[in-house]
Amino acid sequence: MKNASQIINSIQYKPQYRKMLENKCVSRLKSSLLPSIQNNIKYGFIKNNKLYFTISSTLNKYDKDNIINTIKMILKSPMILESDKFIECFNIEIEDVIVYVDHKPKVIFKPHCTDSHSLTYKERSSGEFEINLHDEKLNSLARAIQEIIKKTNSDEA
């Protein structure tokens, strides 16, 4: 039985699913660029045999020309395109590369994470509390915790 990845790989070469293959080709071409440039590329797509990339405004004119020349070099080199890395781009004809600059900042959602493992608190209890538990296992556990608290307070004093 095939899994989802195998099913997608088998149907992506059909004409009605050409957009999936184009999307993979764009992501492959994007991955061939420098990591500093990859981070500034917002999105890319292929329309009318032209490859469009939208980059953030942090890149200058030289970087824009560098992106265009690098992608054109990859697309013109049959040895690179016929390798296994660019197998998605093999049947896609790209005549031109167009790069737009978007002046809106790239929004990156980063969830707030706290490092709770490094937080330590000083014990404020003296260990003088009453334990009224009927279950013997819980009672012994609570008494062991009470002894640890009393021991740490006697060490600090």
Q: What is d(CA 14, CA 30) in angstroms, rounded to the nearest whole number?
A: 23
Question: Which token pair is 121?
Answer: 């608190």
**What is the reported pLDDT for 116?**
62
Taking the model in full, what pTM does it have?
0.59
Kindly list the domain boundaries of the chain, sorted by start residue: 4-102, 127-156
What CATH code would you report for 4-102? 3.30.70
Q: Are 90 and 82 in contact (CB under 8 A)?
A: yes
Q: What is d(CA 86, CA 155) in angstroms, rounded to the nearest whole number?
A: 66
How high is the mean pLDDT in each 10-residue block of the chain (157 residues)?
82 82 87 83 90 82 82 80 77 86 78 68 82 92 92 78
**What is the reported pLDDT for 39?**
84
**What is the reported pLDDT for 62?**
77
